Amino acid sequence: MATNTYGDISPKVAGSSAKRLLKRGQNLFVTERFGHFDPQGKNKTLTRKWRRYNSLAPATTPLAEGVTPDGSAISYTDYTVTLAQYGDWVQITDVIKDTHDDPVLQEMMDVCGEQLADTVELLRIAVLKAGTNVFYAGGVASRADVNSAPTRGDFSKIVRSLKRNKARTISRIIKASPNIATEPVGAAYFAMGHTDLEPDINKMSGFVPVAKYANSDKALPGEVGKIDSVRIILTSLFSPWAAVGVSGTTFLSGGVEVTEAAQCDVYPLIIVAKDAYGIVPLQGENAVKPMVKNPEPVKGDPLAQTGFVAWKIYQATVILNQLWIARLECAATADPE
């Protein structure tokens, strides 16, 4: 039997498998929605470059009659990142008789799709958490001093900073689809954080839960509500820095409620504006490469007892403007009322 780059499945079936992988993964993404995207096209290099054109200074000098002004020079900033390759595989022990419709293959594709999504999400979150524009709940000076849950005032300070730096609200997001597409949303900044923060967010003054939206059907997956001009999306993958804040029993430490004083966990809330960061989206025919190998007799497996299902992707994330993305570091109440 001829060998191809997809193992024992044809390119056509590989395309169907890739869409299934992406469909399962897209339903779990948070960071995918708000990045400035550059898809992984066929035969593209491993280097991605995003170019941001800088604003021109206001032309406040009156024009002199008959005198042409010098004009302004356009300037820009390039952000370059190199894609890295990631992937994994799972072993199969039964012969796949029909690689397109076999239930075992479908289940494996679903599980691998979820693994793929978690992998990409964690890689992106690590980049976003490393931003330099940081705020601390309650206005304290450092992570070690964090001793309060997020408040409306914390969000107001961040929004003021974003607006001061001409950060625009997001009005289109990447659609939750295997295909490359965007969709409109109500203009807002978006905050992403851990689900442990939901009770504290619900208690913030001025918080509007999704259930009270004029059209709650348009809420995004993981969206819990909004505070003023910031919509909030939560996922369990935005892990905290464990036991690095102020010692006490009020807040979670090590992810649990404590009865003896211990340093609290410090959680990141990442607030983003339009074009704050760049991603290679998990969309399109070249986003992921699935591979299937049926069990067949080879050296080391003479009885043809094992095969595999595998996936492989290229990924990269880069912050495009540090002033258009902010990180609020806060604590999560251990025993919310």
pLDDT digits (tens, 9 = 90+) for 267-277: 999 999 999 99
Instruction: Give yes or no: residues 235 and 293 share one domain.
Output: no
Cα distances from 76 to residues 19, 55, 73, in angstroms, run: 37, 9, 10
| Per-residue confidence band for 43, with pLDDT thresholds at 50, 70 and 90 | low
Cβ atoms of 15 and 6 within 8 Å: the answer is no
- Residue 69 falls inside a structural domain: no
Separation between Cα atoms, residue 309 and residue 21, nearest integer Å: 12
Q: Is the pLDDT of residue 9 over 90?
A: no
Instruction: Give yes or no: residues 164 and 199 share one domain.
Output: yes
Instruction: Give yes or no: residues 115 and 186 share one domain.
Output: no
For 213-239, the pLDDT digits (tens) are: 988 888 998 999 999 999 999 999 999
- Indicate the average pLDDT of the chain: 86
Instruction: Give yes or no: residues 242 and 290 share one domain.
Output: no
pLDDT attached to residue 2? 34
Instruction: Give yes or no: residues 139 and 158 share one domain.
Output: yes
Domain range for 210 is 133-276+321-330
Separation between Cα atoms, residue 271 and residue 337, nearest integer Å: 26
| Per-residue confidence band for 206, with pLDDT thresholds at 50, 70 and 90 | very high
pLDDT attached to residue 293? 78
Instruction: Give yes or no: residues 212 and 176 share one domain.
Output: yes
C-alpha dihedral (250, 270, 254, 202), degrees to nearest 10: 40
Separation between Cα atoms, residue 202 and residue 150, nearest integer Å: 10
Instruction: Give yes or no: residues 92 and 194 share one domain.
Output: no
Instruction: Give yes or no: residues 288 and 268 share one domain.
Output: no
Instruction: Give yes or no: residues 272 and 147 share one domain.
Output: yes
Q: Which amino acid is at 267?
A: Y
- Provide the domain count of the chain: 2
Instruction: Give yes or no: residues 268 and 291 share one domain.
Output: no
pLDDT attached to residue 6? 46
The span from the first CA to the last CA of the chain, in angstroms, equals 65
Instruction: Give yes or no: residues 192 and 157 share one domain.
Output: yes
Cβ atoms of 143 and 136 within 8 Å: the answer is yes
- Cβ–Cβ contacts within 10 Å for residue 139, how many? 12
Instruction: Give yes or no: residues 259 and 315 share one domain.
Output: no
